[in-house]
Structure 1
Amino acid sequence: MMNDLDTTRQLVQRGQSSASAEMERSIASAQSSACAHAFTRTMFEEARHHAAQPAVARLPLAGLAVSVKDLFDIEGQPTPAGSVALAHAPVARQDAPAVTRLRTAGAVLIGRSNMVEFAFSGVGTNPHFGTPAAWDGRFGALPGPALVPGGSSSGAAISVATGAAFIGLGSDTGGSLRIPAALNGLVGFKSTARLVPTAGMVPLSPTLDTVGALTRSVRDAVLAHEVLAARRVRHNPVPLSGWRLAVPGALFLESLDSHVAHVFARTLQTLRRAGAHITEMALPETTDVLALQTGGGLTAAESYAWHRQLLSQYGPQYDPRVRSRIERGASMLAADYLDLLRTRQHWMERMQRQLANVDALLSPTVPIVAPSIASVAPARHQDAAQDAERDAEFFRTNALLLRNTSVVNLLDGCALSLPCHQQGEWPVGLMLWHTALHDDTVLHIGLRVEEALARQ
């Protein structure tokens, strides 16, 4: 099992390793076959130069490698957002604030990570730059055919899972950090959206977009959040038995495949043996999420507003599956959009009242294990019926992967996905979540849950 960021930076700061030596290991991983299609652009020589600076080892991130999702601005580089439609866009004049904060803390950028075009899918495929295959960040290679990595922060996840980066800077609009975390045995933290600036990134839905990170441990997630949000997480010594935890029913437990259902049930048993008090909560309000997503919801409406001019010029260059989802927003009237915002606000208030007496909720991050890339890849040079069948499977898979995670975005909440599977099993994520500004509580419970699962 690879060291996490916290362990590695201690080795560097004690002189037992060096930022340069660790960078060479990261570059070797980035060049390996396991990392194929994980990057759209690498920055190896620049990374070597920065890692060699003596002062960098004393900073919080100790000169260690970080990947940057392709939708964030990096000074002097274009920001393609996983698309060829932005190939002629001017280069960025400055770093996005999130990138600046990582650099200031001592991160060294190793490359731009691949992603779903314009971040509009939870599956992780990209027809322009290839699709990286899932890789278990705790236990290594997955057996059998190549599996989807989850999206839209697909390359960010693979860069961390394979050892090419210690932090994968990404975004989360409906689950784009937590879905790839679950499918690759990683930790993904979606903070309350307002805590990290979204400036300097290609937006998907400004109402829902959140900037965050993929890491190898919860303590790394805490550190990454502190850097990105420019705040300190308030430490809390309360043990696992001191928190009020609940498992929501309704939407979250529907259509679980047998492996996810088994691992989730075993995880709850492990946590109860460790002293956790876990109750069941019906939470029927979650089924109302479907009404908030009618016609593509906020994501379709807001993405179309940003893309409509670009579509008129470069529409044929878009991934057809992405383009079709964006264009759903063209039919939403301004009155419908305002109604949707009001409906969401009322739903959020109802959910906040329901969740006032619990500290965090536990649910499977996604209800299925990763399917094969081949099962959802576009059918090329085949007849229309086969193409339609493959597209239907893609959209069915996409809806399942986004189902649980998107509730938290619509709630303007915070959520942590951490691995709960054992060695030799398909990766499964456990999601801890709550409403806005419960970030510190969710992270602290995550630390205690991670400890309990490590002892099983």
Structure 2
Amino acid sequence: MSLDLERLDAVATVTAIRDGSVSAAEYAEALADRAVKHADLNTLQSFDAQHVVQAAVEAFEAHPGAALAGLPVVAKDNINTTNYPTSGGTKALLDHTPATDAGVVQRINQAGGFIGAKAGMHELALGITSNNAVTGAVRNPSNPTMIPGGSSGGTAAAIAAGIFPAGLGTDTGGSCRIPAALCGVTGFRPTTGRYDGDGVVPISHTRDTVGPLARSVRDIALLDTVLSGDNTELADVEMGNVTLGVPRLMFYDNLDPVVARAVEAQLSTLSAAGAKLVDVSLEPIWPHNEAFSFPVVLYEVMRDLPAYLTEHAPDISFETLVAGIGSPDVAGAISSQLGDEAMPEAAYRAAMDEHRPAMRQIYGQVFEEYRLDAIVFPTTPLPARPIGEDVTVSLNGEQVPTFPTYIRNTDLGSNVAAPGISLPCPISSGLPVGIEFDAMPGKDRSLLALARAAEKAMAQ
């Protein structure tokens, strides 16, 4: 029986390379062919077929027994790599090749994997459409006229299209989970601080994290072990022992009917599999979330981004970078912080010292009161929308703001530093829909074990 290399997940790919079902070179050659075949999706920012084949052979020969032996991984183009430029999707950095690999890339390499390409993204990761005026729009493999989500849109789309088996994105307010949902793959945001953040073009050191995207929960668990060093075996979770909080208020408000049907069907499936579903409310948390979310991002990006340039691209000034921003939404966000309207330090300090502790307390109390393993909700309120609708999108007959609408459900988890995973809802036709599970900070392996059980239940 011949292997379907286009659909193998990362675990099966490593197994096949190890047992000789396919050589590292053959797998890489087939991957390069797929990259050419799907070039119209614009998922890859930097790619060299010859390099991929050579790197695959070298990686496998150097680490034949390692966790990722010979595995090509696609990395978002804001994660430093020495074998490809790291542009952040912005003009000033298009030819910027860092002197050192990011910490997460070093871990991939040490585990026998390698970065096979850099993925397209929303410019400077400051958006969710991946409609980038500098490098071109990334397209959704399910329907190329639609957005793939963002800002890690290229990573998600490259996996969904079958080019790469797994990849790395970054997530500040939803940038791994949103494109995973819109492209129909699995995306994970770990507890903030779980992975090395060194060598990543930043937005906010308080909220940013690298996160893996893949085709299965077992792939995410494998990458999590490599990136975190935590090799705790995933427990076998019986759904009958699981309690899931369903936060109807806000998370389930004003859903697109496609999303509502898909997610409600999965809640019924999980309940039928034995999971206990409990209605919970996080209502007191929302004023704190609003006072934390944008103030932290806008205050920190104006300090963290120049600091990255000083360390990793000292020949490029912040002024040059700002002048080269091509995407109107990104230019607007950055320019809003250059004058008198910049986020005041007092608002930032209140966010960090008052609103974040309050959010964490409310979130933890809900988990404790109901003895929750996770909360469960639609990853996004709506599926993919047409490329070009960067300001507003249609939702239930109304034009609503694109960015806040797509991040509405993913934002809170990043603000309380919680791990979250988006799984694709099984749907027979139409655009993909994601269902997300968020846990308490530090409960990453428990969440992945739960997600594996949920994935199995939803597949039946």
- With normalisation by structure 2, the TM-score equals 0.89
Contact 1:408–1:435 under 8 Å retained in 2? no
Instruction: Out of 345-354 and 29-38, give the one that drifted further.
Output: 29-38
- Please report how far the alpha carbon of residue 326 of structure 1 lies from its aligned counterpart in structure 2 after TM superposition: 2.6
1:312-341 residue CA offsets vs partner (Å, 9 max, x unmatched) = 334332122102123444522222211111
1:159-178 aligned at under 5 Å gives the runs: 159-178=158-177
- Corresponding letter in the other structure for 1:107: G
- Please report how far the alpha carbon of residue 253 of structure 1 lies from its aligned counterpart in structure 2 after TM superposition: 0.7
1:224-303 aligned at under 5 Å gives the runs: 224-293=223-292, 296-303=294-301
Instruction: Out of 105-114 and 209-218, give the one that drifted further.
Output: 105-114
- Corresponding letter in the other structure for 2:242: W
- Corresponding letter in the other structure for 1:337: Y
Q: Any idea what SS the aligned residue of 2:131 has?
A: coil
Report whether the alignment pairs 1:69 with 2:76. Answer: yes
1:333-348 aligned at under 5 Å gives the runs: 333-342=344-353, 343-348=355-360
- Please report how far the alpha carbon of residue 352 of structure 1 lies from its aligned counterpart in structure 2 after TM superposition: 1.2
- Corresponding letter in the other structure for 1:447: R
Report whether the alignment pairs 1:187 with 2:186. Answer: yes
State the match for 1:305 in structure 2.
303
State the match for 1:432 in structure 2.
437
> Taking structure 1 as reference, are residues 320 and 51 closer, same or farther at Cα in structure 2, changes over 3 Å only?
same
- Corresponding letter in the other structure for 1:354: V
Report whether the alignment pairs 1:26 with 2:24. Answer: no
Instruction: Out of 6-15 and 50-59, give the one that drifted further.
Output: 50-59
- Corresponding letter in the other structure for 1:255: N
Contact 1:414–1:436 under 8 Å retained in 2? yes
Contact 2:289–2:412 under 8 Å retained in 1? no
Report whether the alignment pairs 1:110 with 2:116. Answer: yes
1:70-121 residue CA offsets vs partner (Å, 9 max, x unmatched) = 11111265421100022465x3111111001111111132111111111001
- Please report how far the alpha carbon of residue 398 of structure 1 lies from its aligned counterpart in structure 2 after TM superposition: 1.4
Instruction: Out of 168-177 and 313-322, give the one that drifted further.
Output: 313-322
- Please report how far the alpha carbon of residue 311 of structure 1 lies from its aligned counterpart in structure 2 after TM superposition: 5.1
State the match for 2:22 in structure 1.
17
1:347, 1:216 → 2: CA distance? 32
> Taking structure 1 as reference, are residues 197 and 274 closer, same or farther at Cα in structure 2, changes over 3 Å only?
same
- Please report how far the alpha carbon of residue 198 of structure 1 lies from its aligned counterpart in structure 2 after TM superposition: 0.4
1:31-430 aligned at under 5 Å gives the runs: 31-33=36-38, 36-53=41-58, 55=61, 56-75=63-82, 77-87=84-94, 89=96, 91-135=97-141, 142-143=142-143, 146-293=145-292, 296-307=294-305, 310=317, 312-318=319-325, 319-330=327-338, 331-342=342-353, 343-356=355-368, 357-376=371-390, 396-430=401-435
- Corresponding letter in the other structure for 1:257: D
- Please report how far the alpha carbon of residue 429 of structure 1 lies from its aligned counterpart in structure 2 after TM superposition: 0.4
- Please report how far the alpha carbon of residue 280 of structure 1 lies from its aligned counterpart in structure 2 after TM superposition: 1.0
Instruction: Out of 105-114 and 403-412, give the one that drifted further.
Output: 105-114
Contact 2:119–2:155 under 8 Å retained in 1? yes
1:374, 1:333 → 2: CA distance? 32
State the match for 2:456 in structure 1.
451
Runs of at least 4 residues of structure 1 off by over 6 A? 388-391
1:11-48 residue CA offsets vs partner (Å, 9 max, x unmatched) = 22222122112111211111123663111111322221
- Corresponding letter in the other structure for 1:166: P
- Please report how far the alpha carbon of residue 64 of structure 1 lies from its aligned counterpart in structure 2 after TM superposition: 1.9
How many residues align? The count is 434
- Corresponding letter in the other structure for 1:172: D
- Corresponding letter in the other structure for 1:359: D
Q: Any idea what SS the aligned residue of 2:137 has?
A: coil
Gaps of 5+ in 2: 1-5, 310-316
> Taking structure 1 as reference, are residues 231 and 290 closer, same or farther at Cα in structure 2, changes over 3 Å only?
closer
> Taking structure 1 as reference, are residues 312 and 10 closer, same or farther at Cα in structure 2, changes over 3 Å only?
closer
1:171, 1:298 → 2: CA distance? 17
> Taking structure 1 as reference, are residues 161 and 289 closer, same or farther at Cα in structure 2, changes over 3 Å only?
farther
1:419, 1:191 → 2: CA distance? 18
1:191, 1:23 → 2: CA distance? 29
1:75, 1:399 → 2: CA distance? 35
Contact 1:212–1:228 under 8 Å retained in 2? no
